[in-house]
Amino acid sequence: MPIATPAQYRAMLDAAQQKSYAYPAINVTSIVTLNGALRAFAEAKSDGIIQVSTGGGEFASGTAVKDASFGAIVLAEAAHRLAERYDVLVALHTDHCQPKKVDSFLQPLLDASRQRKAEGKGPLFQSHMLDASELPLAENMELSKALLRQCVELDIILEVEAGVVGGEEDGHDTSGVAAEKLYTTPQDMLTVYEELNPIGRFLFAATFGNVHGSYKPGAVKLKPVILRDGQKAVTDKYGAKAEMDLVFHGGSGSELSEIRETLDYGVVKMNIDTDTQYAFTRPIVTHICQNIEGVLKIDGEVGDKKKYDPRAYLKLAEISLADRLKQACDDLRSTGHTLFGKV
């Protein structure tokens, strides 16, 4: 599963748009979670997207270093090597980068891709996300356009957001925003298209009531018709080819019917993090609870090395994460859809 080339990544997005499915985009923080993601996509025979957040990059760099861009580069380089052993395509992406982190996170990653291009290689990441939704839309678009121009030069796609995804995820907390900002308007979507399309291809995280975090099924009240109406505003003015590639953030707690409804309105990428975090942690807890006397050196005993060896429970965590990600492939209808060997 080589990492997708820029042309293959565009073909992946085109195929998802044409056949009304979407790719799970899973956040990874370590080699173990990265391997779980690769395993899942291969077993589902689904192309997919693996992404790194600022917090994930910082964690991957080590507690003594805490350098988000450096950690993201380490994970991406590892992904380029590990992906060679599989037979589906995977694209690399970075998650929410707020304006204040552009210089410390996003710019070094663009510079890394620039260096790779100079060496005759492809970009390190196939897409990046700028989350400037905290800014007024006009300021958001000015920053988005500047970064999109850089991305276009590097054969990279930029993801942008207008409107605010509620809740808290990986240190990004928008729980106090006004309710009306949780919904992107048709005019917002038209503005985003008109500002960015002349420069190059982009992904758009429109908001329709979605919320980051962990919720019971049915707790999140989505309005997918917002995506339909926004796309219609764009295509009515510019034609069917103007339909945008949309991204669904904050899907935990959403009804499957609502998730699949968004696929009919142009969603080609859905972030998954909260649910796979739990899937990763759950078997570790079970292992510790069931093997407490082996894991701990209780009352001066020596414990059981086979039980406290991190590999014993991290293998279980990797497999559990992979199983949850395969469910996401089924939910998003990407299972069985790979362009490996075709483009």
Please identify every residue annotated as catalytic.
95
Q: Which two tokens stand for residue 254?
A: 């959403």
Distance in angstroms (rounded) separating the CA atoms of residues 235 and 250: 26
User: Of the candidates 202, 105, 104, which has an alpha carbon nearest to the alpha carbon of residue 161?
Assistant: 202
CA angle at 120 for the pair 56 and 269, rounded to the nearest 5°: 40
Query: Is the distance from CB of 317 to CB of 284 less than 8 angstroms?
Result: yes
Beta 172-173 vs 166-169: how paired, if at all? antiparallel
Query: Is the distance from CB of 246 to CB of 268 less than 8 angstroms?
Result: yes
Distance in angstroms (rounded) separating the CA atoms of residues 324 and 207: 24
Which alpha helices (H) appear in the chain, and where do they start and end?
A: 6-19, 31-44, 54-60, 68-82, 107-118, 137-153, 186-196, 225-238, 256-263, 274-290, 292-295, 305-308, 310-331
Q: Which two tokens stand for residue 322?
A: 């992979």
Please provide residue 37's backbone torsions phi and psi, each rounded to the nearest 5 degrees: -65, -45
Distance in angstroms (rounded) separating the CA atoms of residues 255 and 190: 28
User: Of the candidates 128, 107, 125, which has an alpha carbon nearest to the alpha carbon of residue 116?
Assistant: 125
